[in-house]
Structure 1
Amino acid sequence: MKIIIKNEIRGRIRFCLQKKRYTAEEADTLQFYLQSLPGVTAVKVYERTGSAAVCYTGAREDLVRGILAFSFDKPEYRALVPEHTGRALATKYREKIIMQVVNHFACRMFVPKPVRFCRMMFRAAGFMRAGGACLRRGKLEVPVLDAAAIAVSILRGDYKTASSVMFLLKIGDTLEEWTHKKSVEDLARSMALADRKCWLVGDGDKEILVNVNDVHPGDIIAVHTGTVIPLDGKVISGEATVNQASLTGEGIPVPKNAGAYVYAGTAIEEGGLRIQVEHAKGATRYEKIIRMIEESQKLRTGVESRAESLADRLVPWSLGGTVLTWLLTGNTQKALSILMVDFSCALKLSMPVTVLSAMRECQEHQLTVKGGKYLELLAEADTIVFDKTGTLTRACPTVADVIPFGENDWDEMLRIAACLEEHFPHSIANAVVAEAARRGLGHEEMHR
């Protein structure tokens, strides 16, 4: 594939392929392919302009060769893309905001004035209802400020200002919704299943190590002790205790046997299962994580509660400032500007997003936090109890020596051991398999 280098500096290159624009799928394929190249530290793909920027270390020639080897048609490159990337969400809200802006200005330029007036009054009625509902509850909250700003503009006959206020409020609501959903999805992606391989039961009851993307509904997979279940499905044979804490928060393992349903992302603590896959690529796990995060947000931190309380307490001050400004200046426009300068929305949004960002940061360091409440409690802890040393150690042992018994060959013993151990994710098993690979010892299935 040919590329056009638009600009470059040391350690960064920006280029275009032979496409003027990428689809979301193509942009994701290119991005995750580039991220898989050695020496690449950061990638940004711009689907609207058909270009990509890559930050890298190492030789420029190696990077260029890797880029030239790329093709959108190769299935192995498409397989690098996780199920949820966030690009679709960004595209959805970006287009939503663009349409809101276009509709607002197109209406102002081309729609007859009487129709614009009816449309404005219809939209204003929604804000009035929200403000009235707050007053009926005996509360002065942000909807009261919005309704007051719109109502005063309409009473003054300043319909253009009223329409602009509603437009800006709508844009603000969309940005707030986008920010929150993006934070939740970013955290969910960081918690989503990272395992890319699983054992597929083939002909003759033989277990074959395959990519998770190659497993389809109806296939049977084998999951052993200490392994994370990669896909949702029903148990057809075997018995095991399954830790479901990653989805349900239950600390006690649940027994599973034939006929039981198991979920991707849960882990087998003891035993083994044969599972008939029902949802390929862990289709339901992502949604379960999203629900778990949304439930965890109900465990509000004290800081979040105080921020929300402070935001509500600012509303009377904003109303008082509006009245005072009008009394001092007699200028309604200046008084209205006080209503529009309101910080309560920012306070209410910033704290939950901050907590979600902190949870995401913890997840990137292999720490799962299931609610902002626990982050706050951790700051008050003075003693931490660990249940085992494996919680603290890196769990990366290496093979120091192989001592064969009898007349057995050293390499043959390591090959057989690696063949057996590759079915288990334990750190010692990984060390044996890694040593066999380092010595170039292949080990096809040698056991029954």
Structure 2
Amino acid sequence: MKLIVKHEIRGRIRIHICGGAMTIRQADLFAAYLGSLSMVSDARVYERTGDASIIYTGEKKELIQQILKFDPEDPELNRLVPENSGRELNQKYQTKLVGRTALRITAKFFFPAPVRAAFVLIRSAGFLAKGIRCLMKRKLGAEVLDAAAVIVSLARRDFDTAGSIMFLLGMGELLEEWTHKKSVGDLARSLSLNIEKVWLKTENSQILVPITEVKEGDEIVVCTGNVIPLDGEVSSGEAMVNQASMTGESIAVRKAAGSYVYAGTVTEEGNLTVVVKKTSGSTRFERITAMIEESEKLKSVLEGKAASLADTLVPWSFGGTLLTWLLTRSPSRAISVLMVDFSCALKLSMPLAVLSAMREASSYGITVKGGVYLEAMAEADTIVFDKTGTLTKAEPVVAGIVPFEGRREEDVLRLAACLEEHFPHSIANAVVAESRRRRLIHEEMHSQVDYIVAHGIATYVGNERAVIGSRHFVFEDEKCVVPEGEEDLFQSLPEEFSHLYLALGGRLAAVILIEDPLREEAPAVVAELRKLGIRKVVMMTGDSERTARAIAARTGMDDYRSEVLPEDKAAFVEQEKAEGHRVIMVGDGINDSPALSAADVGIAVSEGAQIAREIADITVSGDVLEQLVILRTLSTRLMQRVRKNYRFVIGFNLALMGLGVSGIMPPALSALCHNSSTLLVSLESMTNLLRDY
């Protein structure tokens, strides 16, 4: 690669890449490469000119050497840089804006009057068609107002005013469309950068690999509670798959060998081996974009009221126009009133504010599926926490292992890890992590693994039934027994730890002691949520009364429930809602899914079970409990912004109408001010709400 230094000052340099204009993809890759250099603090790449402006620290010579190492064919760079960067979208709309402006200037100053009039008449056809289509739907929308303003100007043979009105309206529509698509694209890109991992089936085992390494024709394994990551055909196994995210079906569908499954759907029961038909790529961005566009239908109450008011005010705008003409007999004043409508600003700024808040939330590792959940988050007065993996650290640790019948610690841990690695949960992750720490390598030594929600895991090792899970599951459901002569060892198990029981052939093989440290920030987060308006904080856990009482006291809970089942959590949430409370549920496991679904806002921890993340309305990163404070603050400020926008749009447009009626403001200026205010309030709605964080 060759480059020319076009301009430089200390800490800033502008270079030109020889070879002419760049492609969109080359510019994206080069911008990403520059951004990855430690000595570069900011970089802008201009694809049309092949230039780049770079702010850096250190020596210029070293920077040039680093830049010369750029390789657009680097597979790692191509893998990390998303296909859809937004650069193409910006270029497209910039070209449209420049083209329309140039056409307007050419027509106004260089066309003869007759040609200019004909040009205006031709252009007016599009506005008239939109107005007619709106009327045919029995609606009085903004399109009718625009068409009426153009018709009145044409009827007066005021072609200059008609041309100015159409130019300003067209530019306003173009800017609104660009702003909206850019907001959706920015949000989609922030969400699509997460690299998922999948279980890839090999000849002898299964290995966990990044989804980007999976090729068409590979076989992947999907277990109970996991999201199917890629489209494909089932080669073996049987499962009930929830396809609501894809087809809208509310009931899970049976999938077996020969069935086709879709990325984004969830296995509620059973395990599947899937032959991949479509790998991840740009389709992931498109799928997320579709999800965002679908989530826009989940409007908050305030958004819905604003949109309804915008439609309601259109007839009043017509009435005001007619009244102005009757009182003043001035077509110019009447058109000035007609040029002002509330629809654009109300219908654009509100969704943009929500999309911007969702994008801002994603920058903190928070994924929100719709504006209605942000509003519910702002208005909630009760929050319910699952304990394990939520209030306690996302990665509990193994504090010790108590083997029975003379077994070795390494042998029972190896078996426990072999079972637990298929079902992501914080305790399962602790077991797997401990086996890795001890460098215990294992091959799959069991048959098909069955997960029993809120109880444990069961399978066969050889001819022996192997179970691992809670005391209730192992001793009451599975009827396992403590080996003879080892009752004293069993009774002396340390009470300060949680216990995970492993049994083989109906006899207790080991007890794994789990230490689940409380998150240091948990008490402060609970206190901060109270300051932000949460009046009731509750903890739900399947742990013993002793453990639950200690954690609740340390975190400052108002209430807690111990030894609860999934249905108990959901019932508690429903009871709170029936009493008039708006409830937030925070959890991370498969057993939290019913409560997450029942709550006004279900918040899942991203490192938890995939089915919980799929059902939840909001997902937060598991390692930062403070995100709940950020989310509550963001939601509250969003609602404040929506209300502020609402007041501004109504007040400003009423003022424009008043100026138009008084004759102070002509139609073209009225249209300019109206469109400018719409654009400004929309751009303001896209700014960050948490500038002080």
TM over 0.5: yes
CA distance in 2, matches of 1:164, 1:149: 11
1:81 deviates by 1.4
> What is the letter of the counterpart of residue 70 of structure 1?
F
1:251-330 mapped onto 2 (5 Å cutoff): 256-266=255-265, 272-281=271-280, 284-315=283-314, 318=317
Deviations 1:403-434 (A, max 9, x none): 99999999x99999999998876556767887
CA contact (8 A) 1:149 1:340 kept: yes
- 2:231 matched to 1:232? yes
Q: Distance in 2 between matches of 1:430 and 1:158?
A: 74
Distance 1:250 1:379, change over 3 A: farther
Show CA shifts across 1:255-279 (max 9, x none). Answer: 5432233333445566543221211
Does 180-189 or 430-439 show the bigger shift? 430-439
**1:36: how far off?**
4.3
2:280 alignment partner, SS class: helix
Task: Quote the residue 2:162 is aligned against.
Answer: 162
2: distance between equivalents of 1:7 and 1:226?
A: 56
Residue 16 of structure 1 is matched in structure 2 by 15
Partner of 2:149: 149
Q: CA RMSD in A?
A: 4.8
Higher mean C-alpha deviation, range 23-32 or range 138-147: 138-147
Deviations 1:286-327 (A, max 9, x none): 444433333333333221222223334554565566567768
User: What is the CA-CA distance between 1:25 and the residue it aligns to?
Assistant: 0.5
SS in 2 for 1:31: helix
Partners in 2 of 1:79 and 1:18 — Cα distance? 23
Other structure's SS at 1:384 match: strand
Q: TM-score, normalised by structure 2?
A: 0.52
Q: 1:317 to 1:271 in 2, by over 3 A?
A: closer
**Residue number in structure 2 paired with 1:91:** 91
Change (3 A) 1:80 1:367: closer
- 8 Å Cα contact 2:402-2:409 kept in structure 1: no
Does the C-alpha gap of structure 1 residues 267 and 122 become closer, same or farther in structure 2, counting only changes over 3 Å?
A: same
- Unaligned 5+ segments in structure 1 are none
Change (3 A) 1:73 1:287: closer
Structure 2 unaligned spans of 5+: 446-693
Letter in 2 for 1:179: T
Partner of 2:263, secondary structure, is coil
Do the aligned partners of residues 92 and 404 (structure 1) sit closer, same or farther apart at CA in structure 2, a change above 3 Å counting? farther
Name whichever of 61-70 and 180-189 sits farther off: 61-70
Say which is worse superposed, 317-326 or 360-369, in terms of deviation: 317-326
Q: Identify if the C-alpha distance between structure 1 residues 419 and 179 changes in structure 2 by more than 3 Å, giving closer, same or farther.
A: same
Secondary structure of the corresponding residue to residue 275 of structure 1: strand
Q: Residues 231 and 282 of structure 1 are in contact (CA less than 8 Å); yes or no, is this contact kept in structure 2?
A: no
2:217 maps to what in 1? 218
Aligned pair count reads 441
SS for the counterpart of 1:258 is coil
Between Structure 1 and Structure 2, the one with more strand by share is: 2
Report the AA paired with residue 164 of structure 2. S
Matched position secondary structure for 1:273: strand
Q: Please, what TM-score do these two structures have when normalized by structure 1?
A: 0.75
> Is this contact kept in 2: 1:193–1:264, CA < 8 A?
no
Q: Residues 116 and 415 (structure 1 numbering): CA distance in 2 closer, same or farther, change over 3 Å?
A: farther
- The question of 1:100 aligning with 2:112 is answered no
Alpha-carbon distance in structure 2 between the residues aligned to 1:279 and 1:313: 47
Instruction: Report the CA distance between 1:349 and its aligned residue.
Output: 0.8
CA distance in 1, matches of 2:252, 2:7: 55
Seen in structure 2, the aligned counterparts of structure 1 residues 329 and 222 have a Cα distance that, compared at 3 Å, is same
**Conserved? CA contact 1:243–1:266, under 8 Å:** yes
Q: CA separation in 1, counterparts of 2:440 and 2:54? A: 36
CA distance in 2, matches of 1:416, 1:25: 48
Aligned to 1:182: 182
Map of 1:193-208 to 2, 5 A cutoff?
A: 194-195=194-195, 197-201=197-201, 204=203, 207=206
Code of the aligned partner of 2:380: A
Q: Structure 2: how far apart are the matches of 1:196 and 1:83?
A: 17
Secondary structure class of the residue paired with 1:385: strand
Distance in 2 (alpha carbons) for counterparts of 1:62 and 1:419:
53
Secondary structure class of the residue paired with 1:374 = helix
Cα pair distance change 1:397/1:200, threshold 3 Å: same
Report the residue type matching 1:262 in the other structure: V
SS in 1 for 2:276: strand
Output aligned runs, 1:27-426, within 5 Å.
Answer: 27-37=27-37, 44-52=44-52, 64=63, 67-108=67-108, 114-131=114-131, 140-192=140-192, 194-195=194-195, 197-201=197-201, 204=203, 207=206, 212-223=211-222, 228-240=227-239, 256-266=255-265, 272-281=271-280, 284-315=283-314, 318=317, 333=332, 336-387=335-386, 389-397=388-396
Q: What are the superposed Cα offsets for residues 344-374 of structure 1, whole Å, 9 maximum, x if unpaired?
A: 3112211111122223334444444333223
Contact 2:15–2:53 under 8 Å retained in 1? no
Query: Is the CA contact 2:401–2:409 (under 8 Å) kept in the aligned structure 1?
Result: no
Q: Structure 1 residues 219, 352: CA separation in 2 closer, same or farther (over 3 Å shift)?
A: same
Separation in 2, partners of 1:2, 1:373: 52
CA distance in 2, matches of 1:434, 1:81: 31
SS of aligned partner of 2:368: coil
Q: Distance in 1 between matches of 2:260 and 2:23?
A: 37
SS of 2:348's equivalent?
Answer: helix
Distance of 1:160 and 1:77 partners within structure 2 = 53
Structure number, greater radius of gyration: 2
State the AA in 2 paired with 1:128: L
Q: Is the 8 A contact 1:14 1:51 kept in 2?
A: no
Q: 1 CA distance for matches of 2:37 and 2:417?
A: 28
In structure 2, do the counterparts of structure 1 residues 138 and 168 end up closer, same or farther at CA, with 3 Å as the change threshold?
A: same
Matched, 1:25 2:25: yes
Question: CA shift at 1:72, angstroms?
Answer: 1.4
- Flag the 1:98–1:424 CA change in 2: closer, same or farther, 3 A: farther
- Residues 364-396 of structure 1, C-alpha deviation per residue, up to 9 Å, x if partnerless? 444443332232233332113345533455514
User: How far off is 1:397 after superposition?
Assistant: 4.7
Q: 1:403 to 1:92 in 2, by over 3 A?
A: farther
Over 3 Å counting, the alpha-carbon distance change for 1:447 and 1:327 in structure 2 is: closer
Q: Aligned partners of 2:301, 2:400: CA distance in 1, in Å?
A: 55
Report the Cα distance in structure 2 between the residues aligned to 1:54 and 1:416, rounded to whole angstroms: 55
The 1:393–1:205 alpha-carbon spacing in structure 2 relative to 1, beyond 3 Å, is same
Residue by residue, what CA displacement relative to the aligned partner does 1:426-446 show, whole Å, maximum 9, x if unpaired? Answer: 55676788789999x798x97
CA distance in 2: counterparts of 1:34 and 1:229, whole angstroms: 35
How big is the shift at 1:174? 1.8
Q: Are 1:243 and 1:252, in contact at CA under 8 Å, matched by a contact in 2?
A: yes
Which whole-Å CA distance do the structure 1 matches of 2:417 and 2:92 have between them?
A: 48
Counterpart amino acid of 2:382? Answer: T
